[in-house]
A and B are shown apart, each in its own frame.
Chain A
Amino acid sequence: MSTRKKNILKVIILGDSGVGKTSLMHRYVNDKYSQQYKATIGADFLTKEVNIDSDKVATMQVWDTAGQERFQSLGVAFYRGADCCVLVYDVTNTKSFQNIKSWRDEFLVHANVSTPETFPFVLLGNKIDTDDSKKVVTNKAAQELAASLGNIPLFFTSAKTAINVDTAFQEIARSALQQNQNDADSFEDDFNDAINIQLDNDTNSCSC
């Protein structure tokens, strides 16, 4: 039955604490940015209608996570049905970049995705609005990492100045939709065709 088919794209944002996951989500969904840092507790999500390639419409559910504690507070239900995972690092923080692989591995172990080899990941290098002198992760290193993770899409973004955020999320939506359709293809109708069960107690009854 068509109603069983998912039309919600579940996207999970992961990365070290303070890399700008929440800001990216708010920038994309609400087009807002707050300078004030507030640590996320547990997980939170926002939704946005997305138009992909101008002919497909879906609801993207963007799940923001707390970067402080890696996965230990989030149960299997959180990851179930994820269609795309966004890995975020801060271009001014080497450690956050080095941890990207760990985030990916942790996600794969916890999310139990159907095809780990092809599951869509997107890499975002955030805070590119900062001075060049403060940037410690080179574009080349990021490109090498993206290539080593299976040529995953890479975007350099700034939630603060809205650089590349929409473009990145368009790609995220596209990847998620592709994954979602792969999963949806396995759905089938819930019900058989109409069956003949006689509810009429009085077979001689007449409506007139």
Chain B
Amino acid sequence: MLRARLRDTIDSPGIAAVLPIAESKRLILAKTDGNIEVYSREHTKFKLFQVYPNILQNLHIDDPRIKDLLYSDRLSTIFIQCKNVILLLNSYNLHVYDRVVDKRGISKCWILSTEISKAAPDSDDDEEGTYFHNIYNEEEPAVDTERDLGSDATRENSTSTFLLYSTAKQSKLRLLIWFERVYKSMTEITLPSSSEYVTSANATPNGIILTTNNAVYVWSYTLSELVRIRKIVKRKYPTDMVSAIGDLRGQCHISDPNRVGKSGSSSYNVLERVSSSQGSNLTKKSGFSGFWGRKGVEDERGYKKIRYSFNDRQSSTLIVDGMTESLFEINFENRNAPFLISNPHEQFFEWNSTFETIEYLSTDILMLYNSNLVKFVDYKNVLGTYLIIWTNNDRILLYHYQVDDEGSGLDDNADNSSNDNNSKDEVSICGRLHDSDFYYLWRKVLFYQFFLSSPYSIELCASPNQEESLDICAMKLRDFTVLWCLRIFDSLGRCLKIISSNYTKSAEIMNKNKINISKFDRKYIETLEEIIIKGVYTYFIEVWAPPQLVILNTFPKGISELVNTLTNENHECINENTNLSTSGVFSITPDLFKKWIFPYLTDTRRHLKNLQKTGNSGIMWNYYGRSIKQKFEFFLLDNHGQLKIDDMLRLVDTVLFKVYIKYVPSMVGPLIRVDNSCDQEIVVTTLKSHKMAQELVNFYFQHGQHQEALGYLVNLSHTTTDESNQEKLKSIVKVLVISYLRSMDSQYIVEIFHYTSWLLESYGYTDTDRDQILEDVFFNNKNVDVGKNGMKIYKFISKFREILSLTYLELCVSDDETYNESLLFQLITRYLTEIKNGLVRKKMRSLFELPLDYNPTKMFSILDGFLENDRDNDDNVLTIDIRHFLQVLETFALFKDGKHKESIDILYSGLGDYQKSKRYCDRLYNSNKEEGLKISIYLLDKIIDCYELELKEDHIDTVKELPSCHQILTFISDQGTKIDSMLLLGKLPKSLPVSLMKKELTNIIIAKQLAKEELDLKKSLLQVEIVNSTFKVNEQLSKFVTLNETYKCSICKKSFSTLTSEETKWYNTDDKDYMVHYNCGKVLQSRLFPDQVKYGDNSKGPTTVKDIRRA
């Protein structure tokens, strides 16, 4: 997998300490003669950059021999550890700028650093305050200064650096603390036992973890004291599926009936033991003396002394403990009482028993080494891609390691490499195990996961086209992950089968021997099963696992067979190739199916639908930082037929349907109702066999198969022979058919009529029944377009129920959504046949008063035709009242047609009804003033004509007695104020005495006078408003600001130039004026309101400093 190549060798006899600085690509060598050599790495070669001769010579140090070198990037400082002094050197020029002297002697040093969150989400504010106060109490103002800088980042997260060293008496420790780059304090720490010594130190946001040969401690920032972690707990269940499968295999052994009744120890001979961490052997070189001054331990069980703390990628704090062969996690949920969570890790130590030293490389990989071998294990990736090794004979070896990119190379590397270490590694890891394929796949998965998630993945890639290679790696990881998950699933099936078989046998033995089965923990096994199923399907969802492969290998037999049935492909080769055995043997519990497997199907369905929608132009697959456009082929298996997206969707939807039927029947309905591609034949057969009528009908509906749906429902009533049931079924069928008919749209109107007729025949025993059926199907049916089909429906209803058809018409006409002109004419025609009925006339009248949209000419012709015919429904001559009524209705049609004179002719000349004429004029005046006035004058002319006529014919003494004279006066009183007075006076007949009009004319004069006064008042008010506005404008125009030498721009705080004519911006806020430089104002404005400035939209931009502040 990783291939390390020796790039450079430095021969430098007399090395005392080595310090590689990755950040600046430098290597510092401290020599026994006191010289310091600085090498610089250029590409793959080290070049001697500078030698600092005897750097400690004039520093008056008792024993100037260098024991170790340390480095802090944050402080830009190199620490030189001597016997009783630590020197602090500037990392750029190696100038000694400070020293820490301890006469007790210094045995070992650690440089630690961590980011500490000021506002941790679950932290208590007071506690945080205390923390800062406690560790930085000596120079509190410095902290305040940082805060005053106003940087949120500084306040939220601060990096602290710690120098920890143990004195010659190793139980005495001293801790020096830097906050950011400022030294803060120093504290002494004493371990409880004098024989105790620190094995590792690790700074975490919650405190410094100190592991010693006897215990684990946290040096709490809050308390500034050492707290021993005493509580150790164990997880009830494993957290990952590999551990779970290991435990399950253990359960296979526990449940072995041959062990029943024996008081056994808990240790068991597992079928295949696993651990959550296993290694990748990268390189082996002979002659290593160890790293950075440590000497090798030859003892094979040297790992017993390992107790090492580090933080993993998720910032969990872990301790690898050789003595207990455990991996501990530290739980800080309760900050005052942290505890350890123990995870058995025997396998790790068994595999790595020859290594006595662990080093955590800063980006997440554990390096195990001894005097012979270096081994990297799976805690993330290595810092950079270079490894420096200091050999026993004082040679510095520079290795560059990369991932071989060749497609086959990635696979073959581990198996076919000429490097014998790989084969040895295979043996060491998998030699005792039966299932080496499993581990092989697992190693591949882990490796590619770490490779892709490494921040150095590009550098690690040996290919010339790194991005493409990384994409290929992501695809490879996907393939390995799928196969690995299938392998785990296969193991799960086999284990459960063994356990189930063992349990049965054990139960028999126990019954026979009357022993209690306490070893068999069903709940535990179920939990392990869930962890595995969850893990497997979560991976399947992430990697978009091919549906055919997943369904074939993990679904129950009856469902997995659908793959062959629906795709017409034979997939027996899959099991042959993958050596999987569980297909169709092991069935997942319904609960687990619901929780973890349905999401895989629904998500796969979603991806396929997205692909379908894009016409297979590709959708983005995001995986381990790679975004790759994937087409449908991504979901297919190699070397299989040419499936299309629709075929695959059919498979996935049908499988989903089948598993819903099997495990959650209540979800069949929702699936059937949404847009789906389920196989019709399977769905129909299955739903029929499960008697899921509603779902079947929904399915037919979804696919537009209304004939089939209704046919099925009609036949449903005959499916039972039991009479009592038949009645019940019949009534259900009625409800279902009606409900179905109501959901059909207009294009199926023929089918709707057909099945409504069937309903009427089958259930329409009485008129009420028929009415009910017709109402249920057609009334308030929003799915049928009444505009197009209203008449058809009306005729259909009329055929069965004449009375109901009238109600239907009334209902349609009264509703805006269903209103239709032809229905209105039909309704009017129906009303005319009942015209003798007073109630019908009332309805007609109110109908005409509604603002309905219809063709007035046609309406008029209907009414006029009826009047001309002069016969009612019983062939009697129309009464005068009815004739008048219809004539009045005609005026509504004429009004709509704009034929107002004709209306007035009918109303005044025809019917002699001044009041109706006057109301007509008013109605028109309200809708159209101009037309209203014209028609009022027309009415006046009519009245005057009548007056003249009466005057000629009647020969009376006084005009006052004439009826038309009275109408003229009434007209003046009603309309006089609307019509121009001069026009009115001009129109009035000369023979009409003014004395008669005295009251009416006076009223007109008063009304006109009032209108004039109101107008004058309005005019005066507007003049006052003009004066006020002018005053305000002048006030603004007269404002000024004096800019003298001391006046400073509110934004840049600089004064204004008094020598040049500079443009300024003037803002006003809180009634204060601010002048700013024109450019300052514009820049600030453009930063705060970029859009407005960009698009020149100043309307919503800040106009005052207040606006800017608010923004």
Binding site for B on A (CB under 8 A): 3, 71-73, 75-76, 80, 94, 98, 101-102, 104-106, 108-110, 112, 114, 116-117, 136, 188-202, 205-207
User: How far is A172 from B333 in the complex, measured between Cα atoms in Å?
Assistant: 31
> Considering residues A3, A71, A114, A207, which has the most beta carbons from chain B within 10 angstroms of its beta carbon?
A207
A108 and B594 form a contact (CB under 8 A)? no
User: How far is A117 from B594 in the complex, measured between Cα atoms in Å?
Assistant: 14
- Which residues between 186 and 216 of chain B lie within 8 Å of chain A, taking CB atoms? 192-193, 195-196, 213-216
A197 and B193 form a contact (CB under 8 A)? no
B673 and A101 form a contact (CB under 8 A)? yes
A199: B residues at CB distance < 8 A: 214-216, 232, 307, 321, 323-324
A70 CB to nearest B CB, Å: 9
A202 and B195 form a contact (CB under 8 A)? yes
A191 and B324 form a contact (CB under 8 A)? no
In the complex, B231 has a CB within 8 A of chain A: yes
B234 and A192 form a contact (CB under 8 A)? yes
A193: B residues at CB distance < 8 A: 233
Question: Which one of B192, B339, B606, B670 lies within 8 Å of A75 (CB-CB)?
Answer: B606
User: How far is A78 from B333 in the complex, measured between Cα atoms in Å?
Assistant: 27
Nearest residue, chain A, Cβ from B239: A190
B599: A residues at CB distance < 8 A: 76, 80, 112
Residue interface bits B761-776, CB-to-A below 8 A is 1, else 0: 0000000000000000
In the complex, B609 has a CB within 8 A of chain A: yes
A102 and B674 form a contact (CB under 8 A)? yes
A195 and B782 form a contact (CB under 8 A)? no
A116 and B664 form a contact (CB under 8 A)? yes
B339: A residues at CB distance < 8 A: 194
A116: B residues at CB distance < 8 A: 664, 666-667, 670
B667: A residues at CB distance < 8 A: 108-109, 116
Nearest residue, chain A, Cβ from B191: A207
User: How far is A105 from B613 in the complex, measured between Cα atoms in Å?
Assistant: 20
Nearest residue, chain A, Cβ from B199: A201
In the complex, B541 has a CB within 8 A of chain A: yes
Known: A189-B236, A200-B214. A195 touches B192 (CB 8 A): no
Question: Which one of A72, A195, A205 lies within 8 Å of B610 (CB-CB)?
Answer: A72
In the complex, B1019 has a CB within 8 A of chain A: no
B213 and A202 form a contact (CB under 8 A)? yes
A201: B residues at CB distance < 8 A: 213-214, 323
Question: Which one of B196, B234, B321, B602 lies within 8 Å of A112 (CB-CB)?
Answer: B602
In the complex, B598 has a CB within 8 A of chain A: yes
Known: A72-B606, A72-B609, A109-B602. A205 touches B196 (CB 8 A): yes
Nearest residue, chain A, Cβ from B334: A3
User: How far is A191 from B231 in the complex, measured between Cα atoms in Å?
Assistant: 12
User: How far is A76 from B599 in the complex, measured between Cα atoms in Å?
Assistant: 6
A102 and B606 form a contact (CB under 8 A)? no
User: How far is A110 from B541 in the complex, measured between Cα atoms in Å?
Assistant: 13
Ordered by A's residue number, 22 sampled pairs between the chains whose C-beta atoms are within 8 Å are A72-B606, A72-B610, A72-B613, A76-B599, A80-B599, A105-B670, A106-B670, A106-B674, A109-B667, A109-B671, A116-B664, A117-B666, A191-B233, A191-B235, A192-B233, A196-B232, A197-B324, A197-B326, A199-B215, A201-B213, A205-B214, A206-B193
A98 CB to nearest B CB, Å: 8
Nearest residue, chain B, Cβ from A194: B231
14 new A-B pairs (CB below 8 Å) besides A75-B603, A109-B602?
Answer: A72-B610, A73-B610, A76-B602, A102-B674, A105-B674, A112-B595, A112-B602, A116-B670, A191-B341, A199-B214, A199-B323, A201-B213, A201-B323, A205-B193
In the complex, B756 has a CB within 8 A of chain A: no
A189: B residues at CB distance < 8 A: 236
User: How far is A108 from B667 in the complex, measured between Cα atoms in Å?
Assistant: 7
User: How far is A3 from B598 in the complex, measured between Cα atoms in Å?
Assistant: 28
B193 and A207 form a contact (CB under 8 A)? yes
User: How far is A117 from B307 in the complex, measured between Cα atoms in Å?
Assistant: 53
- Which residues between 271 and 328 of chain B lie within 8 Å of chain A, taking CB atoms? 307, 321, 323-324, 326
B670 and A71 form a contact (CB under 8 A)? no
Nearest residue, chain B, Cβ from A200: B214
> Considering residues B213, B233, B323, which has the most beta carbons from chain A within 10 angstroms of its beta carbon?
B233
A136: B residues at CB distance < 8 A: 817
B interface, size bucket = 35 or more
B193: A residues at CB distance < 8 A: 202, 205-207
Nearest residue, chain B, Cβ from A188: B236
A160 CB to nearest B CB, Å: 21
User: How far is A94 from B815 in the complex, measured between Cα atoms in Å?
Assistant: 15
Known: A192-B236, A205-B214. A197 touches B594 (CB 8 A): no
Binding site for A on B (CB under 8 A): 192-193, 195-196, 213-216, 231-237, 307, 321, 323-324, 326, 333, 339, 341-342, 541, 594-595, 598-599, 602-603, 606, 609-610, 613, 664, 666-667, 669-671, 673-674, 782, 817
A76 and B234 form a contact (CB under 8 A)? no
B213: A residues at CB distance < 8 A: 201-202
Known: A112-B602, A192-B236. A197 touches B342 (CB 8 A): yes
A112 CB to nearest B CB, Å: 5
A76 and B195 form a contact (CB under 8 A)? no
B817: A residues at CB distance < 8 A: 136
User: How far is A8 from B856 in the complex, measured between Cα atoms in Å?
Assistant: 65
Nearest residue, chain B, Cβ from A133: B816
User: How far is A71 from B196 in the complex, measured between Cα atoms in Å?
Assistant: 61
User: How far is A194 from B236 in the complex, measured between Cα atoms in Å?
Assistant: 11
User: How far is A98 from B783 in the complex, measured between Cα atoms in Å?
Assistant: 10
User: How far is A199 from B328 in the complex, measured between Cα atoms in Å?
Assistant: 11
User: How far is A136 from B594 in the complex, measured between Cα atoms in Å?
Assistant: 40
Nearest residue, chain A, Cβ from B673: A105
B666 and A195 form a contact (CB under 8 A)? no
B611 CB to nearest A CB, Å: 10
User: How far is A46 from B37 in the complex, measured between Cα atoms in Å?
Assistant: 58
B602 and A104 form a contact (CB under 8 A)? no
Nearest residue, chain B, Cβ from A115: B666
Known: A3-B333, A109-B674, A116-B670. A190 touches B236 (CB 8 A): yes
Question: Which one of A76, A117, A191, A205 lies within 8 Å of B603 (CB-CB)?
Answer: A76
A195 and B232 form a contact (CB under 8 A)? yes
B603: A residues at CB distance < 8 A: 75-76
B214 and A197 form a contact (CB under 8 A)? no
Nearest residue, chain B, Cβ from A203: B214
10 cross-chain pairs, A with B, having the tightest CB-CB distances, nearest first: A105-B670, A191-B233, A76-B599, A108-B670, A207-B192, A201-B213, A205-B193, A112-B598, A105-B673, A76-B603
A105 CB to nearest B CB, Å: 4
> Considering residues A75, A116, A136, A191, which has the most beta carbons from chain B within 10 angstroms of its beta carbon?
A191
User: How far is A189 from B333 in the complex, measured between Cα atoms in Å?
Assistant: 14
User: How far is A200 from B213 in the complex, measured between Cα atoms in Å?
Assistant: 7
Nearest residue, chain B, Cβ from A136: B817
A194 and B671 form a contact (CB under 8 A)? no
User: How far is A75 from B610 in the complex, measured between Cα atoms in Å?
Assistant: 12
A195: B residues at CB distance < 8 A: 232-234, 342
B671 CB to nearest A CB, Å: 6
User: How far is A101 from B702 in the complex, measured between Cα atoms in Å?
Assistant: 13
User: How far is A202 from B196 in the complex, measured between Cα atoms in Å?
Assistant: 9
User: How far is A129 from B609 in the complex, measured between Cα atoms in Å?
Assistant: 38
Nearest residue, chain A, Cβ from B610: A72
Nearest residue, chain A, Cβ from B600: A76
A117: B residues at CB distance < 8 A: 666
B429 CB to nearest A CB, Å: 26
A72: B residues at CB distance < 8 A: 606, 609-610, 613
A110 and B602 form a contact (CB under 8 A)? yes
B235: A residues at CB distance < 8 A: 190-192
A194: B residues at CB distance < 8 A: 231-233, 339
B286 CB to nearest A CB, Å: 32
> Considering residues A72, A112, A193, A195, which has the most beta carbons from chain B within 10 angstroms of its beta carbon?
A112
User: How far is A201 from B211 in the complex, measured between Cα atoms in Å?
Assistant: 12
User: How far is A200 from B599 in the complex, measured between Cα atoms in Å?
Assistant: 48
B377 CB to nearest A CB, Å: 22
B594: A residues at CB distance < 8 A: 112, 114
Nearest residue, chain A, Cβ from B672: A105
A207: B residues at CB distance < 8 A: 192-193
